[in-house]
Amino acid sequence: MTFLLVILTLLTHNYDLFLVAETGFHRIYGYDDCKATADWLLAQTDVRPIVGIVCGSGMGGLADTLKNQVAFSYEDIPHFPQSTVHGHAGRLVFGTLKGRPCVCMQGRFHLYEGYPIQKITLPMRIFKLLGVETVILTNAAGGLNQDFKVGDVMIIKDHLNVPGFAGNNPLSGPNDERFGVRFPCMSDAYDRELQQMAMEIGQELGYGDFLREGVYCVLGGPSFETIAECRMLHRLGADAVGMSTVHEVLVARHCGMRVFALSLITNQAVMDYDSEEKANHEEVLQTGKQRAEQLERLVSTMVTRIEQNNNNDA
């Protein structure tokens, strides 16, 4: 009986975290290692980014819009994970977007790739130590809201962290006050001023027909959701579902950075047992290509106005 209780406890409280803690939590994910990585990057480029951008599946073209680029392959960056998913180039790109200094992740990391949750969110802490003040995250998601269509762009106003319900949270384990407080507030995880700004910019650009807002739900993946799961998540209040972003948001907010996130609805979640539709990754990448130009214009315009807002607040 005791053995069974131990097994259940490990499953509930994230076995990956247990292994990492036992093999040196601070050594792998601590402040000093993050600082060493940030210092290494800053020594290679004169760009001092104030905005960090994370590109989702099929949306890596955002990084290509940066001027005066200095790019690093993830495998060459100390302590950095490596992206293993098709559609994620695996490069960290420094440069300017309409004259504003930025850093862009051309590919992110996911729980289903086998990394501990603290490892996939490591870049957010490195962003903070690079001087980033605002993080913009993009992702590809399945639409649960029946009013959403493939190709819609959803501004995320809140999230459901399903892995977190089972204790799989990137903030679990020892807390380093140099990053943030032990119990960070998440009722304002997504910056409301940035949401409003995005809506206004979207209207100016003529995106009103496909710009939405809603609640994003994260699952572990890599399997797509069952019909029963989609129905449950919709009833819980989720408008879209995916396999990323939320973990990064938690760490970014823990570090005190402002967060804006959006989902490109790349497929409609199957919620009818009579439907013959099936979710697939190729559909995700194709929709990303079709909306790439509009997303680039929306994000680049936001970056310009974000710094204007920061200057006005100073």
Catalytic residues: 57, 88, 110, 112-113, 140, 243-244, 267, 281
Residue 246: name the closest of 189, 177, 165, 183 by CA.
189
d(CA 236, CA 241): 12
Q: Which residues are annotated as a binding site?
A: 57, 88, 108-110, 140, 225, 244, 267
Distant-in-sequence, close-in-space partners of 10: CB < 8 Å, separation ≥ 6 = 18
Non-local (6+) Cβ contacts of 7 within 8 A are: none
Q: List binding-site positions for phosphate.
A: 57, 88, 108-110, 140, 244
3 state DSSP class of 24: coil
Residues annotated in the binding site for a purine D-ribonucleoside, as ranges? 225, 267
Place of tokens 């977007």: 97
CA distance 112 to 52: 23
DSSP state of 171: T
Rounded to the nearest 10 degrees, how much is the dihedral formed by the CA atoms of 141, 142, 147, 149? Answer: 80
Look-up: residue for tokens 């204007």? 308
